[in-house]
Amino acid sequence: MTPQDIDAVCGLVYDLCGIALDSSKDYLIESRLADLVKREGCANYVEFAVRARNSHGDLKRDVINAITTRETLFFRDKSPFEALMFKAIPELVDEKSKHAYDRRIRIWSAACSTGQEPYSIAMTLMETLPDYRSWNISILATDISDDALARASRGLYPPMETSRGLEAKYLNKYFIPQEGGHRIKDEVRSLVSFEKVNLLQSFAHLGRFDIIFCRNAIIYFNAEDRKRTYVNLANQLTDNGYFFVGSSESLIDLGPRFQPQHHCKSVFYQPNRQLPDFILANKVGSTTAPTMASVR
């Protein structure tokens, strides 16, 4: 790939989904997009980028699907789900039980890929709350890839995917064997809804959540977009909400509003326990980031 090819594709990918690539990712660009370039009959990546920009949507969608499809697995990293089971859910239920009419639990799995994370969250809830049917539980799973969301919604996983990270007790209890693998049971699927969301665009319309998982996605953003997106996500939390990020991600550099909480060998954040740090939002250059007051 020439420098012009790399610049053209990096600009296209950033504009479509906010992922910041550079010349060090030329191998990734070729491995993910070479088939599309060949399919479109383009002589080079510059020509392909121009054609994608001028397309009416299908080619743009194919580029997003190719670039953003990433490996995932059930109960990835394990410790966040232990913190969810033994810390976040019990505390949340205890607090809501103090109010007779507060039986709603809203969870957001952002950048959910092919659905393993939101289904793992659902199974964790069902294991933790024997009376989960008496609660109004909703798990919103979002991604920017149409292909990933379609696979996630089907809930059918081949043996290779159910054998990685998924204990036998969960497989036997929450999945049904089918040709080609195992399908998630309807009782689990009913807790999860799927929606296409671009994290670089406004998502204030989604409302507020008690728990947000956004792991291993924002690491692909540039520094300014990363800060702005974390602030926007934190503003979608209810008071004392729980914010889970990836094991390699840290929000300490975002200021005192983001103080890590350590439980079950996992780290999560409860940014709304601190006084709102509106100065932070201004520092990261966000003119569209919703303030905490605007989403309450």
The pLDDT tens digits of the residues spanning 230-266 come to 999 999 999 889 999 988 888 888 888 788 888 888 8
Question: What is the predicted pLDDT for the residue at 296?
Answer: 24
pLDDT, mean of residues 177-204: 94
Question: What is the predicted pLDDT for the residue at 35?
Answer: 92
Residue 55 makes CB contacts below 8 A (sequence gap 6+) with: none
Mean pLDDT (the chain) is: 87
Q: Which residue has the higher pLDDT, 2 or 70?
A: 2
Question: How many CB atoms sit inside 10 A of residue 151's CB?
Answer: 17
> Percent of the chain at pLDDT above 70?
91
| CA max distance for the chain | 65
Q: Which two tokens stand for residue 162?
A: 């159910």
Query: CA–CA separation, 105 vs 224, rounded Å?
Result: 31
Taking only the tens place, the pLDDT of each residue in 73-114 is: 999 989 999 999 999 999 999 999 887 777 899 999 999 999
Residue 188 reports pLDDT greater than 50:
yes
Residue 164 reports pLDDT greater than 50:
yes
pLDDT, mean of residues 1-5: 89
Residue 217 reports pLDDT greater than 90:
no
Q: Which two tokens stand for residue 74?
A: 């059930």
Residue 221 reports pLDDT greater than 80:
yes
Residue 289 reports pLDDT greater than 70:
no
Position 21 confidence tier, pLDDT thresholds 50, 70, 90? confident
Residue 279 reports pLDDT greater than 50:
no
pLDDT, mean of residues 66-77: 84
Question: What is the predicted pLDDT for the residue at 273?
Answer: 57
> Percent of the chain at pLDDT above 90?
58
